[in-house]
Structure 1
């Protein structure tokens, strides 16, 4: 009973990896389930057994991506640690994730796909918003502890994300700039920390 399950899991993983490669190479609209099946080395029927549609398959890939992001970015607020140290962990994890080639490739595909479908765009933005909530939760906890000024936590979190993305995401997505190296990631993180804490720390 366990061997077929493992084979099924392997086939599912092969389909996802093939889909990532095809979406990155050809975009969402051009990529077909036939091509994904061929690249994965499985039948088209097998692909449809795992994923009823191309949209479902793409959503699964994004879901895995966002899950990995949220796991890497989760830092629980600590009352006895400096705010800067706690925030630095989150910001560097975010910048490292944004420098990941697979992440950038899939983000480009996702953004291109949303241009053709506003409904798809809303779904993807909602997914991304859910996964970025860790920073909002942290800010809310720091406020409750009296260490940050009163500000809408979602607004402040969005502001912080924007500081990072303006260097580590949008230039790479829209202008093909190379991902940030670790020294530049540190520079961007420290600058964002300076601005955020100067504005909101009590």
Structure 2
């Protein structure tokens, strides 16, 4: 959480400076016509509550994220986005007690539309695409310890994105975004299907990007 606070402050600082920094860029450089962008940041993921009977909550957590985009023009882009490390989750019972742990690492490919002109200080965008998230190190207290294998199948489905880029200059920008993943993977215990996990997580992310 400390890393999220630090990056949030950095993003707010970039936002405060962006309106003047871009206006003072008098060398004639422009963000328009640049086709590639990369963003590094951190995201917090939070699955929905009550994903399956007996599980009250799957705690969210932070992880570093990376994305690379190709812009066909100033407005339309395709983005490859993913977690550079795994999101760690603590699984809790209906009463709030720890029931186990699991990790996941999503990757997504999305088409995006960026509103407004390339040199605008604020550039909102929306995206829609497909993602997969691999789960690993699944453990349920009292089951995994007795040799009963616990597994969560790979989540696959649609991902939607809402975000805004805040131009610092023609190359650098700060980004804030929110992503929704339709995640309904099956839970398997000792090789048997134990039901569908209705996770459907949201992510909230902050990052710094460069275009070229």
More strand by share: 2
More helix by share: 1
